[in-house]
Structure 1
Amino acid sequence: MKLLVTGGAGFIGANFVHATVRERPDVDVVVLDKLTYAGDRATLEAVADRITFVEGDCADTALVSQLVGDLAAGGEDAAVVHFAAESHNDNSLSDPWPFVQTNLLGTYALLEAVRAHGVRYHHVSTDEVYGDLPLADPADDPARERFTADTPYNPSSPYSATKAGSDLLVRAWARSFGIRATISNCSNNYGPWQHVEKFIPRQITNILDGVRPKVYGAGTNVRDWIHVDDHNRAVWAVLGRGRVGQTYLIGADGEANNLRVVRALLEIAGQDADAYDLVSDRPGHDLRYAIDASLLREELGWRPLHSDLESGLKATFDWYRDNEAWWRPRKAATEAKYAQLGR
């Protein structure tokens, strides 16, 4: 099998590439990545001799057409897995244009390429396209509302709006042109190789630097956390066995509010669980995400392997502690941007 993996030097994409090379040595992997601030060639050093790396923009129609055409010319099973995205909400509030360019125009370029060459396409998206849900405690309300593939889109930020638009492009190209496409919408990921601007890596690296973690608002916003390896196992399940045209939601029943996550990380570090600071909330900050992944579980037999959030956070904390050389060059600039925002 031949795969073109867009965004393969970013967080989720790089973990997908590592897992594919490790577990599926018969798959020929081509990575396309623009190497923006959030993409790092060093993330793929350990597998560099087992993949083909192309530095480029997924919105470059000529380049994308050439790469997809090369896949199709091999006469073997071929697929595009589209991870590439601008994905940080705070950045989308400061400058929406890169999100329009990558998330919308990049998706358009890929769809036209797979349409021209008849290549299978899987589109990786987010639960943030659905907006947010009322706050609810799983212990008090086990029947609480969760996102499904039928939940109406209601994005809150330029990031989630452009991802929603990209999903709709995929649906339209599948219906109008018959491309062989699937979509997955996943909840918040955590694990190795995630940029320090993101919530969990930022808190971990602050703790490692002796800086008190910073939490938006009252810290009650809930995210449905999933380990990146579980996400990528689900992507492979959809790619291999998913129904063409279907949207699958990926989640691991990992709902936790931000305070629980920060307190857990502080306890892992052997510090007072209340040694954090509350800062001004982000505009349009969604209250709660929660995924109903029953279709994925029942139809494709997928189950998460990392079902205990605290143990997953411990492993992630240890990874950042042991890999300071990877994240340290990004830390000062990230914190300078947050300081300008008062967060």
Structure 2
Amino acid sequence: MARVGVDLAKRVFQVHAVDARGERVLARSFAPEKFFAWAAGLPAGCVVAMETCGGAHHVARQLQRLGLEARLVAGHFVAPYRLEGRGAKNDANDAKAICEAAGRPHMRFVPVKSMDQQAVLAVHRLRQGLVEERTACINRIRGLLTEFGLVFPQDPLHLRPSLAEITGERQAGQGLPDLLRLVLQRLHLQWLELEVHLAWCDERIAQHARQDAQARQALSVPGVGALTASAMAVGVVDFHQFRSAHQFGAWLGLVPKQDSSGGKARLGRITKAGDEYLRMLLIQGAKSVLMHAAARTDRTSRWVHALRERVGWQKALVALAHKNARILWALLTSGELYRAEHVSTPPHTSGSLQATSMPATAAA
């Protein structure tokens, strides 16, 4: 067996194995515990490929401990190799498609994350869920108050002091039912509890951003805070997997869609492909830079302020997020520090390694 494709599920692993010529050697299903016992008998260095899904990184780490070469393939790269088409999607055909995709010479694979990296990502996922719950809680409070004629601005800073006053003892018997006041008190306590949990997450993320070398390097870029730096370090893992800064920006979904043909380019909205969480963090960070760009004199602020005047807020915001993504790729692949006034040399004008290894630093 030279290459194995595995379709993962909770209770069954479907296997499709081929030899060096690509001929099928084995096609069968295993229970998870029996699969690892079977995999232990594979030759050292055998390629075992899986789709990226829940538990895939854990399985990949287990296979690496057995001396095998575990590879993770994004699901949208696998679908074109299912020759039977959408109407014949099953575990056996999926495993066959995974095996075929893993054998392509230009296939891009997802780096296997360590347990520590996934633990930090768990904090990010918890924080993201808590933010959504806090927003839902605040909206629930505002909706209930609106039913009684009390309308507040969307900014929580205006709602919180008023809510404490409405639910206070001195407001009893002054127009609002006592039962409503008790409901609002419960919701206020839930809001405060969510804030405590969010503060805990922010503390852990900030600690990781201080300790991780890649995150510390990313923190030097304007618009990249501890949250973004930490998420980039554990979400991307290896920036060298991207051949260029443009490919990294395309992976994040920050480049326009194309419908080009016959030499005529047609560009549309950004693709929004890739990691939605990382893209959102970059855009939020770019928003803070754009808001203060008029008062700053560095190259990036001058550029984005002029761009905003020319094309508007939204396009300038996405352009700055894309620029920051390219800068991050250049810094984290070269090991250099961010320099606000740096001007890079285009690769086609110089044959030096330095000029070709930093194509994105012109964004600085």
TM-score by length of 1: 0.21
Greater RCO between the two (CA within 8 Å, min separation 6)? 1
Higher Rg:
2
Hey, which of these two has a bigger chunk of helix by percent?
A: 2
Hey, which of these two has a bigger chunk of strand by percent?
A: 1
